[in-house]
Structure 1
Amino acid sequence: MQIGIDKLSFATTPFYLDLVELARARDVDPNKYLIGIGQEKQAVVPPTQDAVTLGAAAALKLMTPALKERISTVLVATESGVDNSKATAVYIKRLLGLSRFTRVVELKEACYAATAGVMMAKGLVATDPQSVVLVIGTDIARYGLNTPGEVTQGAGAVAMTITANPRLLSLDQVSVTASDDLMDFWRPLYSEDAMVDGKYSTQVYIDFFLQTFERYQEMTGRQWADFDALLFHLPFTKMGKKALEALLGDHDDPDSQRLRAALTASQQYCRQVGNLYTGSLYLSLLSYLQNGQARPGQRLGLFSYGSGAEGEFYSGVLQPNFENQLNDVAADLATRQQLSVAEYEKSFNGQLGLADTDVSFDTSKDPSPFWLTGQGGHQRQYQVNQ
């Protein structure tokens, strides 16, 4: 029995910041952002959006009445959770109108956790092939205003259904996972903003990729030339390029050229949105499928990484008519509204975060399908935009 990703969707905020404008405001050469980091635009999060609303919006793009009846479990991966106890998945299940008899769990291991959700979902489907597991990766990447990490911020969510006989990507049996207790990136409980050792984190990322891929090769006999594309977690687009070049080195044959072209296609959406944390690898997958030379029967390699640190390399084969199982990301991105740097800074400072006070937010300028309307009595208030 084949198990894998049946449908895949993406959602982000309705607002973005042009990073050329940010560079000018920060007195930085724009090419440091556009070329050095490989980013052009960044999602801006209004106070009315958080990990719950973004995750629900991504999942809504997949929903049909028939699918709702089959979902047995919702696994939400996030490092932007809104409660130390209550799972983000509980809120999302209610907003989507799913059955009371649905298992809901929140997963955390930095940017890696959505892949953990995929692997857990495979096991659940194997025990009940009629069921569907909804896996969501939803996050807001924050590093602070006028900080070195500011250019690698972003926000958004991916949603996937994991099923038997998938129509998008059938997953191979072999995967390789590695983990170590490292401090390349972390977010203490008292901080809304992440802390990162950038150069160290980049090296750890590359090391984890090379090590897990080497072990995968030993277990399967496959070489990098056997893949039509290698897809990466992209906290910024240059990160994936560094990892791929560490593997390919000076090779310039048709196989390495194909992999480099596939990487470029996979970077396009991330370049327009920024860092998604748990959803980043799967936005990379979406970008390749809609901007690259993707065809049924191709074998794709996927490298998932989460600081702190954990990485996994696994693979899958594209299915016939896979393109029908995706939402039109380019069309969605084209509808966003550009904000000025001043408007971005106001939105950044206006998010609810760790505040313990009652507050109500104005939702009139937010066209998103779900809103965070405020907080009352220490409880976040969510509403469906009807």
Structure 2
Amino acid sequence: MEIGIDKIGFYTPNTYVDMVKLAEARNVDPAKYTIGIGQEKMAVAPVTQDAVTLAANAALQILDEEDLEKIDLVIFGTESGIDNSKAGAVYVHDLLGIQPHARAIEVKQACYGATAGIQMAKGHIALNPESRVLVLGTDISRYGIGTAGEVTQGAGAVAMVISTKPRILVLENESAYLTSEVMDFWRPIYSETAFVDGKYSNEQYIAFFLNVWEQYKAKYGATLADFEAICFHLPYTKMGMKALREILDQGSQADRERLVAHYQTSTSYNKIVGNIYTGSLYLSLLSLLELSDDLKAGDKIGLFSYGSGAVGEFFAGRLQEGFREALAIAEHKALFADRKELTVEEYEAVFSQTLPTDGSTVTLDIAADPAVICVAGMEDNKRLYINKTNE
């Protein structure tokens, strides 16, 4: 039975800040951001967007009536959850109008959450071949204004429909994974922003990649020549290249040139969105699939997922005949084209806007947000969501 990604959608807020201008405002050489980190723009989420609405907007773009009837499991991967009890998946299920006889859960393991969701989805579909599973990777990366991590902030969500006979990518069953208790990145329940040991986290990312890659090779006899491309979790776009360079000498010159070229293509969307945690690997995959002009059916794509704390996994999939026709290329092109640049001052003002935590009532200006699904306000400690198409 072939199981994999049948549809993939993406959403990011319509506002961003330019990294050159941010660097200048922070008295930093812009090359440190654009070359050293590899980022060009950073998506900025208004107060009317959170992990729930980002996920719902990403899924809204790709789901049709048949999906709404056949999806019986919604998996919401995030580290930006809005409730310690209720799963964000429940809100998304309601906002999208998915049939009621479905499971809806939230999973958490830093940036690994969406990958965990995909692996769970594969097991569910193996037992229920007629089912479809909606897997969401949705996050808002926040470190704080003027902090060392500010340059690796971002916001967005990737939504994937997992099914049998997938039109985009069949996911292979071969996989290698690793868990180790490390404190490279964390966000305590009481904190609105994350904490990170940057140098240590980079070291752990590379160490995990090398471990699971060597596992994968030993278990399945794999070589670099088997892969047309390898996509990475990208907290910033230079991170994946640091890991890839560690294994390039294992292949031929042709392998090196091919993998590096496709890696560069796979970072294009991430460069102009920033870090979206659980969705970053799949935004990289989306960038590769939508912007490469030489991929073909049967090509094997490697995927490295890493979630700090830490869990890592290397797995792969094969592209399907006609995969391009199943992509929402035009919609994503329009999404990026319609974005508005904020000044650094405007970005700081938006970043500082937060929802009340004292139970007070607030009504938000959703007319200023072009997204279909928004946070409309708060009342009695409850977030009020709205799907404008239902109004």
- Conserved 8 A contact 2:224-2:250: no
Equivalent in the alignment of 1:143: 143
Q: Does 1:259 align with 2:283?
A: no
Specify the alignment match of 2:315 in structure 1.
314
CA offset at residue 352 of structure 1?
2.2
Distance change >3 Å, CA 307–CA 60, structure 1 → 2: same
The alignment status of 1:88 with 2:91, answered yes or no, reads: no
Q: Which runs of 4+ in 1 moved over 4 A?
A: 249-252, 353-356
Task: Note the alpha carbon deviations across 1:15-72, whole angstroms, 9 max, x for none.
Answer: 1111111111111111110000000001011010000100000000111111111101
Give aligned-pair identity as a percent. Answer: 52
Q: Is the 1:192–1:353 Cα contact (8 Å) retained in structure 2?
A: no
1:158 is aligned to: 158
Amino acid at match of 1:312: E
Matched with 1:232 is 232
How far residue 356 of structure 1 moved from its aligned partner, in angstroms, is 4.4
1:360 paired with 2:359, answer no
**Cα deviation code 1:294-313 (max 9, x no counterpart):** 21110010000000000000
- 3-state SS in 1 of match to 2:68: helix
Alpha-carbon deviation of 1:212? 0.3
**What is the Cα deviation at residue 355 of structure 1?**
5.8
**Which SS does the other structure have where 1:364 is aligned?**
helix
Cα-to-partner distance string for 1:305-336 (whole Å, 9 max, x where unaligned): 00000000001100011112222223311110
TM-score relative to the length of structure 1: 0.98
SS at match of 1:372: strand
Alignment size in residue pairs: 386
Change (3 A) 1:173 1:333: same
The counterpart of 1:373, out of the listed 371, 376, 390, is 376
**Higher mean displacement: 242-251 or 352-361:** 352-361
Contact 2:9–2:59, Cα closer than 8 Å, also in 1: yes
The 8 Å contact of residues 225 and 251 in structure 2, kept in 1 or not, is answered as no
**Whole-Å separation in 2 of the counterparts to 1:353 and 1:311:** 36
Partner of 1:103: 103
Counterpart CA distance in 1 for 2:255 and 2:3 is 28
SS at match of 1:8: strand
Give TM-score scaled by structure 2 length: 0.97
2:379 is equivalent to residue 382 of structure 1:
no
What is the one-letter code of the residue matched to 2:374? W
Any idea what SS the aligned residue of 2:176 has? strand
Paired residues for 1:1-386 under 5 Å: 1-249=1-249, 253-292=253-292, 293-328=294-329, 329-352=332-355, 356-386=359-389
Mapped partners of 1:125, 1:259: distance in 2: 32
Whether the 8 Å contact between 1:296 and 1:319 is mirrored in structure 2 is yes
Question: How far is the alpha carbon of 1:351 from its aligned partner?
Answer: 2.7
Give the 3-state SS of the residue equivalent to 1:273 in structure 2. Answer: coil
Distance 2:149 2:358 in 1: 23
Q: Residue 341 of structure 1 aligns to which amino acid in structure 2? A: V
Unaligned runs of 5+ in 2: none
Cα distance between partner residues in 1 of 2:273 and 2:53: 17
**Rounded Cα–Cα distance in structure 2 between residues aligned with 1:64 and 1:251:** 43
SS in 1 for 2:367: coil
Structure-2 change in CA distance of 1:204 and 1:343 (3 Å): same
8 Å contact from structure 1 (residues 140, 156) kept in 2: yes
Quote the Cα distance in structure 2 between the aligned partners of 1:316 and 1:78.
Answer: 23
* Structure 2 counterpart SS, 1:79: coil
Over the aligned positions, Cα root-mean-square deviation in angstroms equals: 1.2
Q: Is the 8 Å Cα contact of residues 233 and 280 (structure 2) preserved in structure 1?
A: yes
What secondary structure sits across from 1:351 in the alignment? coil
Partners in 2 of 1:151 and 1:20 — Cα distance? 11
Whichever residue aligns with residue 290 of structure 1, its letter is E
SS at match of 1:375: strand
* 1:249, distance to aligned residue in structure 2 (A): 4.3
The answer to whether the Cα contact below 8 Å between 1:192 and 1:354 also exists between their aligned partners in 2 is: no
**Structure 1: how far apart are the matches of 2:355 and 2:58?**
21
Answer whether contact 2:359 2:379 (CA < 8 A) is retained.
no
Matched position secondary structure for 1:282:
helix
Unaligned stretches of 5+ in structure 1?
none
